[in-house]
Amino acid sequence: MTSVFLVTKSSYSDYSIVGAFSTKEKAQKTIDTLSIYDVNDAIDEYKLDELDTLVKKIKRGYKVYWIMMKSDGNVEQCSDSKEIGLWLNHSKDKGMIWGYVLAKNDVQAVKIVNDKRAQLIARGEL
């Protein structure tokens, strides 16, 4: 599935999309070049046509789960959700990864986030 990377600026209710990019590297280069980044801004990854996939999987018994996991792998929270977006975010400073994932059950949801946590640690991002 193809991804798009959105550079966003936000401060409370003032949220805007600065640009859309085909790679995270291009998004980061733009932020670095234009010096537009501050603590409330982000690069968010979205999968194209993801909601179509989401609807099909929910019809097959999948659920959306909200997960909060510490960088050591301990799960702070795991609960099913009515959220329609799927995303994960992380903070090296907070030592956390959190977001919404699509899974058959809570065990699989935790595994999905744990796999992403391992990737982030390997890249030095968590």
pTM for the model:
0.61
On whether the CB atoms of residues 65 and 101 are closer than 8 A, the answer is yes
On whether the CB atoms of residues 84 and 64 are closer than 8 A, the answer is yes
Residue-wise pLDDT for 78-90, tens only, equals 999 988 777 888 8
On whether the CB atoms of residues 61 and 55 are closer than 8 A, the answer is no
Ordered by start, the domain boundaries in the chain are 3-47, 50-122
The per-residue pLDDT for 24 is 92
Q: Which of 104, 103, 42, 101 is nearest to 69 (CA)?
A: 101
Residue-wise pLDDT for 40-63, tens only, equals 677 888 888 777 777 788 889 999
The per-residue pLDDT for 111 is 95
Q: What is the 3-state secondary structure (H, E, C) of 40-67?
A: CCEEEEEECCHHHHHHHHHHCCCEEEEE
The per-residue pLDDT for 69 is 96
Q: Is 80 exceeded by the pLDDT of residue 10?
A: no
